[in-house]
Amino acid sequence: MDPVIRDEMTPLERAKALKQGHPVDRIPCVSHLGEHAAGLIGIPVHEYLHSSELMAKAQITAFRVYRQDGVTVGPDLFGLAEALGVKLSYSANERPQVVCPIVRHIEEVKNLEPPDPEKVGRLPLYLEALERIREKIGNEVVIGTGISGPFTTGAFLRGTEPFMKDLVRNPELAQTLLKLSVRSIIRYMDAALFRGFSCSMGEPLAAGNIIGPDLFREFLKPCLKEIADWYKNRTGSGPSLHICGDTRLILQDIVDTGIKSFKLDETVGLQEAKEAIGNRMALAGNVPPVKVLLRGSTKVIEDAVKSCIRKGHDTPKGYVLSAGCSVPVETPPENIISMMNAVRKYGRYPVDPNTWVD
């Protein structure tokens, strides 16, 4: 499964050159692989999720196969809520799911404290895995960690439907949950940053088809700004963020939070986002993860990559090609290789889509 097209720079060299404003060989390509990597070493997902050694082995193998511009391991959507007491169910070939929320009354939230990432739940496994990965490939690629955002964490603690109702009927409980989530996220990020790893957040439950812009501005925007302000004071720039679904009505609000980079879902047009906020924030996205990466042919994948590059390559604050959301666990490895090869072919600087033969 070796890549057909070779790079001229390592991902780490490319990242350093971009940061310093120097020329690079191509557009970066980063997709959150997560548990997909387990299949590359022939283990079930639940084993991957409970072993720092297997996490590291799987992600190192994935990097050596794909040579993507970043390796990410983290609690993602579920690990933080689990560390706070939420029970998850695990299966062989799927990502975990919430079995039972733990918060019914505001008093129960007041009894919870942000978990110690060095000791509680599976959080220490991720920090250990990050260290193992850096030891093997840290001289070649940027290594980071991802975690659920405050809205998603709060919803998993309370239950998604009750939490959504709380936003209107019981805002005090919702705000209390969000404050706990923010403190918990910062505590995990602090442990990761102390070790030298960058951080990102995912907020699948904050999409425009779930909550409207008014609720986003009232409840989530202040939380994201608090985290971004803390992160910027700690590192000099904000963290990255992904929100699933339609975010067109809150793009300006996302910029206002201080987030440094926003990964777009496939439902948001790259051209539209670039025109709206591309002069204020770096963008990433947005190859459809299911209909293209999971199910598409080589030509379908190549066409999707070309479409993204056409629209995103000249984003003023920078553009990274990626899947529009997490790569499905069962995605064929050859499809990810096809995406990487397409960006190597069409993302070479200076990008000139007028020279492509469709």
Task: Tell me whether residue 4 is in a domain.
Answer: no
Task: Tell me whether residue 3 is in a domain.
Answer: no
Task: Tell me whether residue 356 is in a domain.
Answer: no
Task: Tell me whether residue 146 is in a domain.
Answer: yes
Task: Tell me whether residue 354 is in a domain.
Answer: no
pTM: 0.95
Q: What is the mean pLDDT of the chain?
A: 94
Domain of 141, CATH number, reads 3.20.20.210
Task: Tell me whether residue 5 is in a domain.
Answer: no
| Residue-wise pLDDT tens digits, 226-268 | 999 999 999 999 999 999 999 999 999 999 999 999 999 999 9
3-state secondary structure the chain: CCCCCCCCCCHHHHHHHHHCCCCCCECCECCCCHHHHHHHHCCCHHHHCCCHHHHHHHHHHHHHHHCCCCEECCCECCHHHHHCCCEEECCCCCCCEEEECCCCCHHHHHCCCCCCCCCCCCHHHHHHHHHHHHHHHCCCCCEEEEEECHHHHHHHHHCHHHHHHHHHHCHHHHHHHHHHHHHHHHHHHHHHHHCCCEEEEECHHHCCCCCCHHHHHHHHHHHHHHHHHHHHHHHCCCCEEECCCCCHHHHHHHHHCCCCEEECCCCCCHHHHHHHHCCCCEEEEEECHHHHHHCCCHHHHHHHHHHHHHHHCCCCCCEEEEECCCCCCCCCHHHHHHHHHHHHHHCECCCCHHHCCC
Task: Tell me whether residue 272 is in a domain.
Answer: yes
* The predicted structure's pLDDT at residue 358: 65
| Residue-wise pLDDT tens digits, 6-56 | 899 999 999 999 999 999 999 999 988 999 999 999 999 999 999 999 999
Number of domains in the chain: 1
Residues of the chain with pLDDT under 50: none
| Residues of the domain holding 306 | 11-349
* The predicted structure's pLDDT at residue 357: 74
* The predicted structure's pLDDT at residue 8: 92
